[in-house]
A and B are shown apart, each in its own frame.
Chain A
Amino acid sequence: MKKTLFDKIWEQHVVEERQDGSSLIYIDRHLVHEVTSPQAFEGLRISNRVLRRPDLTLAVADHNVPTENRINGIKDNIARIQVETLEKNVKEFKVPYIPLMDSRQGIVHVIGPEQGFTLPGCTMVCGDSHTSTHGAFGALAFGIGTSEVEHVFATQTLIQKKPKTMLINVSGSLSIGVTAKDIALAIIKNLGTSGGTGYVLEYSGDAISDLTIEGRMTLCNMSIEAGARAGLIAPDAKTYEYIKNKPMSPKGEAYDKALEAWKLLPSDEGAVFDKVINIEASLLEPHLTWGTSPEDVLSINDVVPNPKDIDKENLRNAMQDSLDYMGLKPGQALTDIKIDKVFIGSCTNSRIEDLREAAAVAKGRKVADGVHAMVVPGSGLIKIQAEKEGVADILIEAGFDWREPGCSMCLGMNPDQLKPQERCASTSNRNFRGRQGRDGRTHLVSPGMAAAAAISGHFVDVRKFN
């Protein structure tokens, strides 16, 4: 029988099929951060259980960490205790850990691939919904809750129902200025935030093959915003090249053997998916969100939608509520929306390519008066690379605030937050109410669009900068 990439990974990881139709699935890689792990470690202690495979686990603090003056430590007591708790737990349970002041520290979904911890064909989990990011390597990677984190600690397995599969075929090529982020936003617009619920998405087609590994991570990262716990892209030469020589990836004979196995992973020609969606890349434009759900997506040259055009009462009211919260009027051109803040960062868009994309727009220009634009690299290594390449200098000269790595304003657990009614062009993944700060207004965009907005003081078609 012809198999999909997902089928192949799933079959290789079934420890036991259970009578009720669910399966016990082996977990090859477990990423851990400070926010969703303390109760799981505590659970092990209470039940007197061991952490079965610390060697398949990797921990880092990212959500709570300050992105400036880090040398002074974490000022917020409760946040500091949470990071210290992680440090205590990784010591007690012998989990490999990247300390806060280590240059390799960064966002958990950035450091996994960067350290070679993420591999094709593996199953990977983390107490974080954006674990879908690692699907860019052909890993079956998904977010779990804290109870499941404890389950993986204790058993290195999870009980799972086999999800359905959806193929998203993106044919053709993207125009200049249109990026992986725009593909992601277009897909979420198409599927809605629950259209992917119960599915694993596989992205394929020329436009996907053409994406860099960084772009693929951006796309897979946002699968959860369409409701899908995991997104997958078949590994290819770019994937193997990226993985080679990373600190934790296989070396020598182990790499050669791995490569043989990885090459068997891509979906067989003619494999059947439960659902198929086709998207033509050349038709995509730079996108942004206008509302308070990631499905509220428009092209940059559109206007704010009108609730009067919505038939169903509860949806019409929901749209009006969103517009009121966002401070927008029906019919208003998106390019007329002025911004206060810019956030370039998050596990969606904080990698070197994202920073280069922003720098290409910012080069020789200045951030508009009254706009505060911050750039938060995904990891210390990316920060160093951007500084070496001159990307950091371009951004700093243009007036961007160059920060230390972490999750930062994507969710504002640290001091990086929007004030009420502040409007932000953000390269993150969620525009939920209050996400970036109470009553803050978030518009999701690509790094290029964020940089262009920073320079202009309002949203603008990034293609005008190319």
Chain B
Amino acid sequence: MKSFNKLTGIIASIPQVNIDTDAIIPKQFLKTIERTGLGKHLFHEKRYDQNNNLIKDFILNKQPWSQAKIIVAGDNFGCGSSREHAPWALLDFGISCIISTSFADIFYNNCFKNGVLPIILNEKIVDEISMLAEQGVEISIDLEEQQLIVQNKLYKFEIDPYRKHCLLNGLDDIGITLENKKTIDSYEEKLSSKIWHKPESL
């Protein structure tokens, strides 16, 4: 996984609540067997009309936000489907940080597995950042210091220490878990007392 430490870039505001993963990456693009190449389909129905022409007034189709590296959005970002194609599409577009008042659980988890940083801030701050975003400003994010700076304003954010550690170092969860293989082995040995545990064959 790509590590995440510092990020400076344009921030795009999508001031809607409940932005679902169907909107982030619609179903027709889930047929891929790859993780890459989804950026051009990010927010497909907001970005393109039925004839596949760019919808010019959508924020990510306008300069300078078409170069955005960060999105600020309303409550419950990433709700709905578990599709990890959502963070893959964001990342492939060039967005590796989302700021919101709240995130849906599965999307939130999926972000950390892909080097995307979801930042939770209170409504007042999200509104302030959203207003600044509309001016096309850049924002600087420092994960180590857990802070973001925009227009000389500094905001602190909270993050789970283990997740922070993994993001900063680009660590692969699976590798870490497999270091504990013996613990899993001994858990499985105890399972033999549950004689019903293993499914019968199909």
Contact = CB atoms under 8 A, between A and B. Distances in A.
Nearest to A128: B82
Given A79-B31, A193-B76, A194-B79, A20 B160 contact: yes
Interface in A105-134: 115-117, 119, 127-129
Interface string B54-78: 0000000000000000000011100
A73 interface: no
A147 B113 contact: yes
Interface in A244-301: 247-251, 253-255, 257-258, 261, 293
B142 interface: no
Nearest to B164: A20
Contacts of B104: 194, 197, 227
A333 interface: no
Given A16-B183, A117-B199, A413-B31, A154 B76 contact: no
A38 B198 contact: no
A403 interface: no
Interface in A428-451: 430, 432-435, 438-439
A191 B15 CA distance: 22
Given A22-B162, A24-B183, A194-B75, A55 B196 contact: no
B125 interface: no
A155 B174 contact: yes
Contacts of A43: 174
Given A16-B180, A146-B84, A248 B199 contact: yes
A151 B171 CA distance: 13
B178 interface: yes
Given A39-B34, A258-B196, A145 B50 contact: no
Interface stretch (B3-11, B17-25, B133-141): B17-25
A412 interface: yes
A143 to B, nearest CB: 4
B187 A26 contact: yes
Contacts of B169: none
B32 interface: yes
Contact of A148 (B20, B30, B81, B109): B109
A64 interface: yes
Nearest to A37: B33
A411 B202 CA distance: 28
A432 B196 contact: no
B19 to A, nearest CB: 10
B106 interface: yes
Interface in B145-202: 160-162, 173-174, 177-178, 180-181, 183-184, 187-188, 194-202
Contacts of B22: 411, 430, 432-435
B18 A78 contact: no
Contact of A251 (B27, B30, B200): B200
A154 B196 contact: no
A433 B30 contact: no
A81 interface: yes
A24 B173 contact: no
A81 B33 contact: yes
A28 interface: yes
Contacts of A36: 82-84
Interface size class of B (residues with CB under 8 A): 35 or more
Nearest to A81: B33
B40 to A, nearest CB: 15
For the complex, would chain A's binding face be called helix, strand, loop or mixed by DSSP majority?
loop
A143 B184 contact: no
A434 B45 contact: yes
Nearest to A229: B105
B31 A78 contact: yes
Contacts of B109: 144-145, 148
B76 A227 contact: yes
A18 interface: yes
A156 B31 contact: no
B33 A85 contact: yes
A15 interface: yes
A157 B75 CA distance: 30
A65 B196 CA distance: 33
Contacts of A42: 33
Contacts of B80: 129, 224, 430, 432
A429 to B, nearest CB: 9
B202 A154 contact: no
A175 B12 CA distance: 49
A39 B35 contact: yes
A64 B31 contact: yes
Contacts of B30: 35, 63, 413
A154 B194 CA distance: 22
A148 B105 CA distance: 13
A194 B202 CA distance: 38
Contacts of B74: 314
Given A64-B31, A96-B202, A314 B17 contact: yes
Contact of A198 (B75, B105, B114, B188): B105
A408 B95 CA distance: 32
B106 A147 contact: no
7 contacts: A18-B162, A144-B82, A145-B106, A154-B178, A248-B199, A251-B200, A253-B195
Interface of A: 15-16, 18, 20, 22, 24, 26, 28-29, 35-36, 38-39, 42-43, 47, 49, 55-56, 58, 63-64, 76, 78-79, 81-82, 85, 96, 98, 104, 115-117, 119, 127-129, 143-148, 150-151, 154-157, 159, 161, 193-194, 197-198, 224, 227, 229, 247-251, 253-255, 257-258, 261, 293, 314-315, 318, 411-413, 420, 430, 432-435, 438-439
Given A151-B173, A261-B194, 20 more contacts: A15-B184, A24-B177, A24-B183, A24-B184, A26-B187, A49-B178, A78-B31, A82-B31, A85-B33, A147-B110, A147-B173, A154-B174, A161-B160, A193-B18, A198-B105, A224-B80, A229-B106, A254-B196, A434-B45, A438-B45
Closest 10 CB pairs of A and B: A147-B113, A250-B196, A258-B196, A145-B84, A38-B33, A145-B110, A194-B76, A143-B82, A20-B162, A146-B84
